[in-house]
């Protein structure tokens, strides 16, 4: 029984700015908004979030 992949799908998050899948353990930056923690692939994405958190923090609102 061999599995070629070893990713843990339960330990991933989505960068709300660029939509990229981010591993919370290695995320470049994190932000907390309305009690929700967001993970970012880069500081640039985190800065974009800082500039307008509601735009990204509430994508369906
Ligand atoms: Zn990003
Ligand atoms: Zn909010």
Residue 38: give the domain boundaries: 13-57
Q: Is residue 45 part of a domain?
A: yes
Domain assignment present for 51: yes
Overall number of domains in the chain = 1
Domain annotation covers residue 19: yes
Ligand 1 centroid from CA 1, angstroms? 35
Separation CA 31–CA 22 (nearest Å): 13
Please write the tens of the pLDDT for every residue from 5-57: 665 556 799 999 999 999 999 999 999 998 999 999 999 999 999 999 999 98
CA 28 from chain center: how many Å?
A: 9
Alpha-carbon gap, residue 41 to 30, rounded angstroms: 9
Cα 14 to ligand 1 centre (Å) = 9
Ligand 2 centroid from CA 52, angstroms: 10
Residues 2-18 have pLDDT tens digits of 666 665 556 799 999 99
Task: Give bridge partners of residue 30 from the DSSP assignment.
Answer: 39
Question: Domain for residue 5, yes or no?
Answer: no
Ligand 2 centroid, distance to 23 Cα (angstroms): 23
């Amino acid at each position: 029984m061999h599995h070629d992949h070893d990713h843990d799908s339960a330990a991933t998050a989505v960068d709300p700015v660029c939509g990229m899948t981010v591993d919370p353990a290695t995320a470049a930056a994190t932000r907390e908004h309305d009690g929700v923690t967001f993970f970012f692939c880069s500081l640039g994405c985190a800065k974009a979030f800082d500039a307008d958190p509601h735009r990204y923090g509430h994508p369906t609102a």
